[in-house]
Amino acid sequence: MSTPTATLTKHQMYIDGRFVEPAGGQFFESDNPYTGEPWALIPRGNAEDVDRAVRAAHKALTKGPWPKMTATQRGALLRKLGDLVAANAKELAALEVRDNGKLFAEMNGQLNYIPQWYYYYGGLADKIEGSVIPTDKADMFNYTKYEPIGVVAAIIPWNSPLLLTAWKLAPALAAGNTVVIKPSEFTSASALTFIKLVEQAGFPPGVVNIVTGFGADVGGPLVEHPLVAKVAFTGSDATGQKVYEAAARGLKRASMELGGKSPNIVFDDAEIDNAVKGVISGIFAATGQTCIAGSRLLVQQSIHDQFLEKLVAFAKTARMGDPMSTDTQVGPVTNKPQLEKILKYIDIAKSEGAQTVLGGARASRPECGTGWFVEPTIFSGVNNRMRIAQEEVFGPVLSVIPFKDEEEAVSIGNDVVFGLAAGVWTQNMRRALMMADRLQAGTVWVNTYRAVSVLSPFGGYKRSGLGRENGQDMIKEYMQTKSVWISTATEVPNPFVMR
Question: Can you list the residues of the chain whose pLDDT is less than 70?
Answer: 1-6
pLDDT in the model for residue 499 = 84
Give every CB contact of residue 51 below 8 A, 6+ residues apart in sequence: 221, 225
- Is residue 391 annotated as part of the catalytic site, yes or no? no
In this structure, what DSSP letter does residue 203 have? Answer: P
List, in order, residues 6 or more apart from 241 with CB less than 8 Å away: none
- Cβ–Cβ contacts within 10 Å for residue 455, how many? 10
Residue of 257, 375, 392, 469 with catalytic role:
257
Say what the pLDDT of residue 1 is: 41
* Ramachandran angles phi, psi of 355, nearest 5°: -100, 125
* Under 8 Å between Cβ of 84 and 197: yes
* DSSP label of 215: I
Which of 106, 291, 368, 477 is catalytic? The answer is 291
Report the candidate in 384, 393, 458, 394 with the shortest Cα–Cα distance to residue 416. 384
According to DSSP, residue 490 is labeled S
The pTM of this model reads 0.96
Alpha-carbon gap, residue 14 to 7, rounded angstroms = 22
**DSSP string covering 340-380:** HHHHHHHHHHHHTT-EEEE--SB---GGGTTS--B--EEEE
Strand-strand pairing, 140-148 and 132-133: antiparallel
pLDDT (tens digit, 9 = 90+) per residue, 384-443? 999 999 999 999 999 999 999 999 999 999 999 999 999 999 999 999 999 999 999 999
| Residue 426 contacts residue 270 (beta carbons within 8 Å) | yes
**CA-CA distance, 459 to 206, in Å (whole number)?**
29
Each residue's pLDDT tens digit, 31-45: 999 999 999 999 999
pLDDT of residue 3: 42
Residue whose C-alpha is closest to residue 141's, from 493, 483, 485:
485
What pLDDT digit, counting tens, does each position of 90-143 carry?
A: 999 999 999 999 999 999 999 999 999 999 999 999 999 999 999 999 999 999
What whole-number distance in Å separates Cα of residue 359 and Cα of residue 367?
16
Q: Residue 178 has what pLDDT?
A: 98
Instruction: Tell me the C-alpha to C-alpha distance, in Å, between residue 6 and each of 40, 41, 192, 193.
Output: 10, 10, 19, 19
- E-assigned strands of 183-321? 208-210, 228-234, 253-257, 263-266, 296-300
d(CA 422, CA 272): 18
Q: What is the CB neighbour count within 10 angstroms for residue 215? A: 18
pLDDT at 5: 47
**What angle, 0 to 180 degrees and rounded to 10, lies between the N-to-C axes of helices 161-174 and 71-87?**
160
**CB–CB of 287/333 below 8 Å?**
yes
Order of strands, sheet of 27-32, starting from the edge strand that comes earlier in the sequence: 9-10, 37-43, 27-32
Pair 335, 42: CB distance under 8 Å: no
Within 13 Å of residue 85, how many CA atoms lie on the same side as its CB? 30
CA-to-CA distance for 107 and 81, rounded, in angstroms? 18
Angle between helices 104-113 and 89-100 (to 10 degrees): 140
All residues at 6 or more sequence positions from 80 whose CB lies less than 8 Å from its CB, including other chains: 201, 202
Quick check: 452 and 113 in contact, CB under 8 A?
no
Q: Note if 257 is an active site residue.
A: yes
Q: What is the predicted pLDDT for the residue at 7?
A: 86
